[in-house]
Amino acid sequence: MIDIALVGIGKIALDQHVPALKSSDAWNLAATVSRSGKVKGVESHADFDAFLKARPDIRVISLCLPPVPRFDYAEAALRAGRHVMLEKPPGATLSECEKLAELAQSQRLTLYATWHSRAAAMVPAAKEWLADKSLKRLQVTWKEDVRRWHPGQDWIWEPGGLGVFDPGINALSILTEILPDKLHLKNATLEVPENKQGPIAAALDFVHPHGAKVSADFDWRQEDDQIWQIEAVTDAGALLLDEGGGRMFIDGQEHSASAAALSGEYPRLYARMAELLATGACDTDFEPMRHVADAFLLGHRKIVDPFYD
């Protein structure tokens, strides 16, 4: 088994990373680093630099910190000769992400910029189905309740926290994975609460190289049923990815996932990290991040009512 340290013991770490690691035959959660969070029965450290000095034997680091401080931790880990796995988004800026990729390559270390929604059960099947189809129209609808999924996480509204693009980038990670053609953003509208820095909703329009209409609608104010859908109309039928990529319908008929896909998103991420380590490779696709950066560059800001958790 491979020893790994988990850095940043918050909600996502406890809900997803810890169970995935504890259920894996490939990984041993050997230590955690956090100012306040701990995992029962696992060695804990409060200071990352002190941890790196104390445990040179732990060669793999998984970073679950918010995006703004993540770069400093990732750079320190790589310079200390450790392989690094990044929670999404991989950083606060594209420049940070690209610098980490260059550093990992120069150090001959593995860097894995994860996109957990790409590991959803039906994403590979959707990609395969769309590969030889002519796309006519695609609509992303990603609407959820921020109070339910990110309670009290003030950092998510600050610069670098992405606002509604924190979940929206999950949709973009699926979109850029399943489409055979590369898109670029044409325009965007960002709805920003008057008491926040980050947007609470966003509407995006993309340019498709063959003229298909591609758009996305993100909203953090969805109080009833949560909606995570991608609908694609092609020359050979219509595809619906529902429940964040967990279910797929072709012309209304549901297709089932393989047993491996049903194991869960985060177990599949850690299986991928083990593969990268075995081959000495990196996986650093920053395309979803690029679309978010373009949205902030091109987006028309519309100030809306204040929002309170």
Q: State how far the Cα of 285 lies from the Cα of 177, in Å rounded to an integer.
A: 10
For tokens 């690094």, what's the residue? 84
The catalytic position among 11, 88, 143, 196 is: 88
| CA–CA dist 52, 7 (Å, integer) | 11
Q: What is the pLDDT of residues 296-306, one digit of tens each?
A: 999 999 999 99
Task: Please state at what angle helix 287-298 crosses helix 165-178, rounded to 10 degrees.
Answer: 130
Of 117, 5, 109, the residue nearest 54 (C-alpha):
5
Residues contacting residue 11 through CB under 8 Å, at least 6 positions apart: 153
The span from the CA of 27 to the CA of 85, in Å, is 13
Residue 18: φ, ψ to 5°: -60, -50
Residue 258's pLDDT is: 67
Q: What is the reported pLDDT for 138?
A: 98
Count of Cβ atoms closer than 10 Å to residue 272 Cβ: 16
Q: Which residues of 198-221 are buried (b: 16+ CB within 10 A; e: fewer)?
A: bbbbbbbebebeeebebebbbbbb
- The owner of tokens 């679309």 is 291
Helix (H, G, I), strand (E, B), or coil: what is residue 242?
A: strand
Q: Is 186 a catalytic residue?
A: no
Whole-number pLDDT of residue 125:
96
Q: In a structure prediction context, what are the per-residue pLDDT tens digits for the chain, which is 309 residues long?
A: 999 999 999 989 999 999 999 999 999 999 999 998 999 999 999 999 999 999 999 999 999 999 999 999 999 999 999 999 999 999 999 999 999 999 999 999 999 999 999 999 999 999 999 999 999 999 999 999 999 998 888 999 999 999 999 999 999 999 999 999 999 999 999 999 999 999 999 999 999 999 999 999 999 999 999 999 999 999 999 999 999 999 999 999 999 876 555 568 999 999 999 999 999 999 999 999 999 999 999 999 999 999 998
Tell me how far apart the alpha carbons of residues 200 and 146 are, in angstroms, rounded to a whole number. 9
Domains and CATH numbers, the chain: 2-113 (3.40.50.720), 118-257+292-304 (3.30.360.10)
Q: Where are the alpha helices (DSSP H) in the chain?
A: 11-12, 18-22, 48-54, 67-79, 94-107, 123-130, 146-149, 165-178, 265-279, 287-298
